[in-house]
Amino acid sequence: MKPKTPSESRTIMTDMVLPSETNPLNNLFGGELLARMDRAASISARRHSRRITVTASVNHVAFNRAVPLGSVVTVEAAVSRAFKTSMEVFIDVWIEDRYTGERTKANEAIYTFVAVDDTGKPTEVPELQPETALEKERFDAALRRKQLSLVLAKKMKPSDATELKALFKED
């Protein structure tokens, strides 16, 4: 399979925050943002693999900034690394200033998707070829995050998590 770049899976979804999507502080409800991110990330994983994709895990979510009612929110997702059948997808969330149009980063998240066939069996995906410095940085750290996710899910023994162990190794 021909390798693909992150820009080939980049998915950008822009929408407003409506009253039915807010919490009692009139900010975007966290679950609504998780759903928007899942949707964009799922399209991104599908664009990379051209297969049915399912969410296998949500590895990291940081709700760094509240997103007020009426905000214009842009969710930007792209595959950051592909393994055998799974893909890590990085999601950046931006809000736009009403007057200047300037974008501010509000949140980010990292999801893992698995490509499956019609029977739900995991199936192979193309490799990812990072291009920019940020894409390379995300690519390099993805194996560590995969191992951490598998250890937490009890699908990998901590002793087999080579990339994680390397973090704690003193020279």
Ligand X SMILES: CC(C)(COP(=O)(O)OP(=O)(O)OC[C@H]1O[C@@H](n2cnc3c(N)ncnc32)[C@H](O)[C@@H]1OP(=O)(O)O)[C@@H](O)C(=O)NCCC(=O)NCCS
Which range, of 4-12, 21-29, 112-120, 160-168, touches ligand X by CB under 6 A?
A: 112-120
Q: Which of residues 4-43 bind ligand X (CB under 6 A)?
A: none
The least CB distance from residue 54 to ligand X, in Å, is: 4
For residue 54, give both structure tokens: 């399912």
Q: Is 120 in the site for ligand X (CB under 6 A)?
A: yes
Written in H, E and C, the secondary structure of 114-170 is EEECCCCCECCCCCECCCCHHHHHHHHHHHHHHHHHHHHCCCCCHHHCHHHHHHHCC
Of the candidate residues 57, 71, 74, 107, the single one contacting ligand X (CB under 6 A): 57
**C-beta of 78 vs 106, nearer to ligand X:** 78
Q: Positive or negative CA dihedral for 106, 33, 140, 103?
A: negative
The least CB distance from residue 65 to ligand X, in Å, is: 27
Residue labelled with tokens 């759903």: 35
List of residues contacting ligand X (CB under 6 A): 54-57, 83-86, 112, 114, 116, 120, 122, 146, 149-150, 153, 155
